Amino acid sequence: MNNELEEPTIHRRTNITRSESLEEATAKDVPTGLVASSKPTTPLKIHFIKSPFFRVVHASGVWYGGDSQQNLHLTVFNERTAIPKMMVVNLNEKGMVVDEDLSQRESKEGIVRELEVDIVVSIPAAVEFYRTLGENLKALKAI
């Protein structure tokens, strides 16, 4: 069974170098600390502190793949039309823009994908994210 998302903005960059599939990785026991335990435990406070480089990133999609250390790389990108490098406009006698001379526009053709950030995730963390993301998507769809 193929669990890859079929959305148009999710793209596989390279093959995961690990010999097992996501289904096999999911079926294995995730290391302690990544899964909820049914036994009562001592509460642990977790403090969230933003690094100086913290920012909000708009993601049109994700380019992803594995590396030789068996990590998953999630490269978040935004997508837009190309911004012209140069354009020529025609002015009227009052200096107001009338139109653009499209024959002189210098611009890239196609779509631009600006890579925002590459997030490196271990296989156990990716499996846990996969599981909890699925649960959250089901809950959101039910609303």
**Whether the predicted pLDDT of 5 surpasses 80:** no
70 φ, ψ (degrees, to nearest 5): 65, 40
Long-range pairs for 130-133 at CB < 8 Å and ≥24 separation? 130/3, 130/22, 130/26, 131/26
Per-domain residue ranges for the chain?
10-28+56-142
Q: What is the pLDDT of residues 6-59, one digit of tens each?
A: 343 444 444 333 444 444 444 444 444 445 556 768 888 888 899 999 999 999
Give residue 127's pLDDT band: very low, low, confident or very high (50, 70, 90). Answer: very high
pTM of this prediction? 0.57
Q: 3-class SS at 120?
A: strand
Distances in Å between the alpha carbon of 60 and those of 7, 8, 55, 127? 11, 10, 16, 22
N- to C-terminal Cα separation, the chain: 28
